[in-house]
Amino acid sequence: MGVARGNESDNIRYEWQSWPSDSLEGMPPKRRRLVGWGLLWFLLLGSVLRAAGIPEPWQSILAVVALAAVFGPLIRSAVKETQRLRDEGIDLPSYPVTRKSLISVGIITGLLWALVVVLVAIGRPVIPLLPIACTVWLAVQFRRWRALSG
């Protein structure tokens, strides 16, 4: 985490603060690592478990175990880093909640639940962890949007 140098304003203490806050470069290093691992997780793990021929209930269980093993320490270090930055007086901007983002998350959540219903209807065993997580995320984002809009 390099300290910014030169003729920059006093509000910028770290190099990553000079980037836009909604970009990966504008995130603190540990939060950026968490997002990077999250992307890698969703791109690779599902296809690896499917290619290994692991049946569906065990795929989800293995995914949750690996999720806890990988993301537990990453989330903990990102939270500690955020707390340390707040102690230094640096407030990180939060993810903006807009009507468009709520609609997008709602559509994705609906599609995931529809996929679960279709899979159950054709007799495939399914553990709906992702649709449940998306529903919780939608509820949290809706509450934030309501609080911001008045």
How many angstroms separate the CA atoms of 106 and 144, rounded?
15
What is the domain count for the chain?
A: 2
pLDDT confidence of residue 107:
95
pLDDT confidence of residue 45:
75
Instruction: Give the tokens for residue 41.
Output: 């997780």
pLDDT band at 24; cut points 50, 70, 90: low
Instruction: Say if residue 6 is in the same domain as residue 78.
Output: yes
Is residue 66 within 8 Å of 120, Cβ to Cβ?
A: no
* E strand or H helix that includes residue 150: none
Of the three residues 70, 93, 116, the one that is the final residue of a domain is 93
Instruction: Say if residue 76 is in the same domain as residue 24.
Output: yes
Q: Which domain holds residue 37?
A: 1-93
Is the per-residue pLDDT at 55 higher than 70?
A: yes
Instruction: Say if residue 33 is in the same domain as residue 70.
Output: yes
Is the per-residue pLDDT at 84 higher than 70?
A: yes
pLDDT confidence of residue 118:
94
pTM over 0.75, yes/no: no
Query: What tens digit of pLDDT does each residue of 85-140 get?
Result: 888 887 776 677 888 889 999 999 999 999 999 999 999 888 888 899 999 999 98
How many angstroms separate the CA atoms of 113 and 129, rounded?
10
Instruction: Say if residue 17 is in the same domain as residue 62.
Output: yes
Is the alpha carbon torsion for 21, 103, 98, 143 positive or negative?
Answer: negative
Instruction: Say if residue 83 is in the same domain as residue 98.
Output: no
pLDDT confidence of residue 6:
45
Position 76: which residue type?
R
Instruction: Say if residue 137 is in the same domain as residue 73.
Output: no
Instruction: Give the tokens for residue 17.
Output: 């603060």
Position 51: which residue type?
A
